[in-house]
């Protein structure tokens, strides 16, 4: 997969890291070097790709040829609960819990990992000189574009990567056209009472005409927003992150709290599992038009201002 020069650079970096002690900075530099070297070697697209994480599954499934996917993580097809946008499409592809033994059993010529995860597996793969590509955490749409393009290079799938980004741009454009103005004050209420939307979600909300209301609430020391807080400072739009007809875990009970009925007439409430937001990627843009539609609905139901 690598040119002789690439192998020399990667090997030199690995020896330097080993000699200096494996620091986080050194791992990041090494991972970045591997990423760029693989990106430069598109002529030899990998034939047996193993993905070890839900967020890398999402990319590998969309970019690699199906016949070149040796295995995905077990989360790709998990339905209890569904945490993947590809859960209904991966039947027939092996889905694994990525121990070193299991991964090596598939004789991969590339293992795609999420940066900073499974350090023991990574160490074994490095010792055995198995090519590894670490996918970074993306905190913006710009970062998603870079990661998608680089993975397209690494997997010999430039056209698929370009198509993914084109589809993302289409979804974003549709959301911008439909976005309510001024922005609708919105709270995404999650299991256990969390409301940590994250930078990509916030960016998508802004494009879709929603303003994240979470920073205006007073969370507990554990970072949760109590039901009382939600009711006292009622948002225009309340999105429950889950399924209305499913309360199969204690974490979801707060979303079904009867006191939230007091928001009736002040807040438009809607349920959506928001699965595309669990792992940031081009597919995350699919929720932008949904956000815009919910914002328009909330704005249309807002009480008219009283005349003096």
> What's residue 251's pLDDT?
86
In tens, the pLDDT along 131-158 reads 999 999 999 999 999 999 999 999 999 9
Nearest CA to 220 among 194, 242, 259?
A: 194
**DSSP labels, 71-100:** EEEGGGG-BTTB--TTTTT-TTS-EE---H
Please check whether residue 220 is in contact with residue 226, taking contact to mean a CB–CB distance below 8 angstroms.
yes
pLDDT band at 197 (very low <50, low <70, confident <90, very high): confident
Helical (H) or strand (E) element with 24:
helix 24-39
For helices 141-154 and 199-207, give the axis angle rounded to 10 degrees.
110
pLDDT band at 255 (very low <50, low <70, confident <90, very high): very high
Residue 245: partners with Cβ closer than 8 Å, 6 or more residues away: none
On the question of pLDDT at 41 being above 60, the answer is no
On the question of pLDDT at 228 being above 90, the answer is yes
> What's residue 35's pLDDT?
56
In tens, the pLDDT along 59-77 reads 999 999 999 999 999 999 9
pLDDT band at 3 (very low <50, low <70, confident <90, very high): very low
Helices (H), 40-140: 54-63, 100-105, 119-127
On the question of pLDDT at 50 being above 60, the answer is yes
In tens, the pLDDT along 159-189 reads 999 999 999 999 999 999 999 999 999 999 9
Q: Mean pLDDT highest for which of 34-43, 166-175, 299-308?
A: 166-175
Q: Where are the beta strands (DSSP E) in the chain?
A: 49-51, 69-73, 95-96, 110-114, 132-135, 184-189, 210-212, 237-241, 268-272
Q: What's the token pair of residue 306?
A: 């009283």
**The dihedral sign for the CA sequence 214, 220, 221, 224:** negative
**The dihedral sign for the CA sequence 249, 252, 254, 255:** negative
> What's residue 307's pLDDT?
55
């Amino acid at each position: 997969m690598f040119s002789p020069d690439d192998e020399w650079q990667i090997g030199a970096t690995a020896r330097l890291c080993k000699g200096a002690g494996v620091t986080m900075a050194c791992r990041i530099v090494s991972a970045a070097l591997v990423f760029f070297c693989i990106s430069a070697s598109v002529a030899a697209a990998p034939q047996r790709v193993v993905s070890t994480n839900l967020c890398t599954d999402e990319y590998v499934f969309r970019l690699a040829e199906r016949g070149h996917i040796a295995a995905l993580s077990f989360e790709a097809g998990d339905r209890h609960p569904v945490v993947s946008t590809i859960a209904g499409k991966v039947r027939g592809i092996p889905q694994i819990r990525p121990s070193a033994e299991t991964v090596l059993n598939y004789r991969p010529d590339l293992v795609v990992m999420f940066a900073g995860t499974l350090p023991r597996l990574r160490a074994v793969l490095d010792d055995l000189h198995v090519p590894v590509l670490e996918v970074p955490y993306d905190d913006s749409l710009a970062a998603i574009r870079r990661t998608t393009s680089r993975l397209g290079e690494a997997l010999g799938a430039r056209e698929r990567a370009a198509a993914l980004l084109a589809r993302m741009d289409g979804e974003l454009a549709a959301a911008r056209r439909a976005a309510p103005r001024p922005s609708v004050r919105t709270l995404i209420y999650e299991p256990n009472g969390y409301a940590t939307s994250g930078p990509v979600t916030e960016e998508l909300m802004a494009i879709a005409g929603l303003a994240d209301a979470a920073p205006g609430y007073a969370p507990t020391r554990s970072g949760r927003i109590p039901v009382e807080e939600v009711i006292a400072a009622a948002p225009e739009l309340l999105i429950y992150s889950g399924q209305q007809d499913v309360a199969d875990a204690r974490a979801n009970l707060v979303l079904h709290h009867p006191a939230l009925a007091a928001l009736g007439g002040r807040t438009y409430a809607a349920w959506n599992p928001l699965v595309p937001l669990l792992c940031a990627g081009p597919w995350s843009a699919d929720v932008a038009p949904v956000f815009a539609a919910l914002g328009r609905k909330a704005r249309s139901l807002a009480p008219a201002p009283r005349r003096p």
